[in-house]
Amino acid sequence: MAEPYTWKPEWLALQPEDAIDPELPIIDPHHHLWDAPGMQRYLLQDLRADTGSGHNVEATVFIDCMWSYRRDVPKEMRQIGETERAAAEARLSALLPAEKASAEAALAQAEADLAKTVVRAGVDGRVEQFALRVGDVVNPLMRPAGVLIPEGAGRGRLVAGFGQVEAQVMQVGMVAEATCASRPWTIIPMVVTEVQDFIAAGQFRGGEQLIDPQQVVQPGTILVILEPLYEGGLDDVTPGSSCIANAYTSNHDLIASGNLGATRSFVLHAVDAVGLVHALILRIQALVYPIQTLVGGGH
């Protein structure tokens, strides 16, 4: 047997009724609120669902129904309890959502500010060269070194460092050459595809000591990305291999244009001639380095 004053929303939804005149302003003469044993709960959110179902209800009058009467006051003052409860329901329904929205906005702003201070990075790859093996005892004082090898690292391009004096002439598209220790006696035609527009410098912590720039004797270099001029040029080069690279300027068209003075033409001829000398030296290095390594350093 159902309790008195109960209903099911599913049952009410079986017979929906459209508003006859949805634009007609209505002031509902009275409504009740209650939350008592033996009665289905009906509070402000339920009232708003009913008054907002299609009619233009502009206002409604709250009438007490002997709900939440106070027992600690004289009889003629007991209905104050229901007034207090209705006022509390109004605050829960109106003020607290606004306070919640304000708190959520403040939290979102705080999270946004925090996100600006956090840097996350991820890379696909594998970890190699760890001294630990399955079954080894792990000691917190023993920190075996390991290397994270990103997916595709060292394949398809070389990273080279050039002197700072070459910053003004190093350009994308320049022809270059390289020879690598893991591919001896071979000159690999390359092309410059990217030139870093800054020089890495500053303080860093290599161990437990903060290294100041004045302690660094070797100046920073211009980082240049080289890619093979022909497909498969680096296929036989082991990733991480030591290489020697040269990049060459070409001033032939500028000299042949006839728009340069004699002095500048001579200087540019000298620059191109130095490039030829460097190309010859690179070939000598490619020839000598493997022999020097095998004979002088053992294998």
Q: What is the CATH number of the domain that holds 168?
A: 2.40.30.170
Q: What is the pLDDT of residues 96-117, one digit of tens each?
A: 777 778 888 888 888 888 878 8
Query: Does 104 lie in the same domain as 163?
Result: no
Query: Does 163 lie in the same domain as 86?
Result: no
Beta-bridged to residue 194, according to DSSP, are 225
Residue 271: inside a domain, yes or no?
yes
Give me the mean pLDDT over the 206-230 stretch.
Answer: 75
Residue 87: inside a domain, yes or no?
yes
The CA-atom distances, in angstroms, between 78 and each of 38, 61, 71, 135, 183 are 21, 20, 6, 77, 98
Residue that finishes a domain, picked among 92, 110, 128: 110
Query: Does 180 lie in the same domain as 88?
Result: no
Residue 52: inside a domain, yes or no?
yes
**Tally of domains in the chain:** 2
pLDDT beyond 90 at 192: yes
SS3 60: strand
Lowest mean pLDDT segment, chosen from 63-72, 130-139, 157-166: 130-139
pLDDT beyond 90 at 270: no
Q: Give the chain's mean pLDDT.
A: 80
Q: Supply the pTM of this predicted model.
A: 0.49
Q: Tell me the residue range of the domain where 65 lies.
A: 9-110
Please tell me the total number of residues recorded for the chain in this structure: 299
Query: Does 219 lie in the same domain as 104?
Result: no
Residue that finishes a domain, picked among 87, 110, 133: 110
The residue among 99 and 163 whose pLDDT is bigger is 163
Question: Cα(first)–Cα(last) distance of the chain, in Å?
Answer: 95
Residue 150: inside a domain, yes or no?
no
The residue among 153 and 110 whose pLDDT is bigger is 110
pLDDT at 1: 43
Lowest mean pLDDT segment, chosen from 133-142, 213-222, 270-279: 133-142
As a whole-number percent, the residues of the chain with pLDDT over 70 amount to 81
Query: Does 280 lie in the same domain as 162?
Result: yes
pLDDT at 149: 67
Give me the mean pLDDT over the 76-93 stretch.
Answer: 81
